[in-house]
Amino acid sequence: MEKIVGSLAGVCFHTYDNMFDLFFTGERVIACNVKHYGDIPYQQSSAIRELLTPGLSRRRAEQIEQEQISYERRQSLQDKTPDELVTLHRSNFEIPYSEIMSVEISRGLFRSYLKFSTSNPSPPRQKIRFLLSKKQIPDAQSMIKQVLDSKVKKK
- Mean pLDDT score, 79-88: 93
Answer whether residue 118 is part of any domain.
yes
Of 103, 77, 70, whose CA–CA distance to 7 is shortest?
A: 77
Do 12 and 36 meet the contact criterion of CB atoms below 8 Å apart? no
Answer whether residue 17 is part of any domain.
yes
Task: Please give the Cα distance from 22 to 18 (Å, whole number).
Answer: 13
Task: Give the pLDDT score at 111.
Answer: 84
Answer whether residue 121 is part of any domain.
yes
Answer whether residue 33 is part of any domain.
yes
Task: Please give the Cα distance from 119 to 13 (Å, whole number).
Answer: 19
Residues 6+ apart with CB under 8 A from 136: 8, 10, 11, 112
Answer whether residue 145 is part of any domain.
yes
With cut-offs at 50, 70 and 90, classify the pLDDT of residue 11. Answer: very high
**Strand bridging mode 93-96 / 28-35:** antiparallel
Of 19, 22, 25, whose CA–CA distance to 5 is shortest?
A: 25
pLDDT tens string 60-74: 777 788 788 888 989
**CATH number, domain with residue 102:** 2.30.29.30
With cut-offs at 50, 70 and 90, classify the pLDDT of residue 16. Answer: confident
Answer whether residue 111 is part of any domain.
yes
DSSP 67-86: HHHHHHHHHHHTT--HHHHH
* Range of the structural domain that residue 99 is part of: 4-37+79-151
Task: Give the pLDDT score at 99.
Answer: 92
Task: Give the pLDDT score at 49.
Answer: 47
Answer whether residue 53 is part of any domain.
no
Q: Using a pLDDT cut of 70, give the percent of the chain over it.
A: 83
With cut-offs at 50, 70 and 90, classify the pLDDT of residue 146. Answer: very high
pTM of the complete model: 0.81
Number of domains in the chain: 1
Of 38, 22, 32, 46, whose CA–CA distance to 144 is shortest?
A: 22
Answer whether residue 74 is part of any domain.
no
- When mean pLDDT is compared across 8-12, 24-28, 98-102, 118-122, the lowest value belongs to 118-122
- Mean pLDDT score, 48-52: 51
Q: Which long-range contacts (CB under 8 A, 24 or more apart) does 110-119 make?
A: 112/136, 112/137, 114/8, 114/11, 114/140, 114/144, 116/29, 117/153
pLDDT tens string 86-135: 999 888 999 999 999 999 998 877 889 999 999 876 655 688 999 999 89
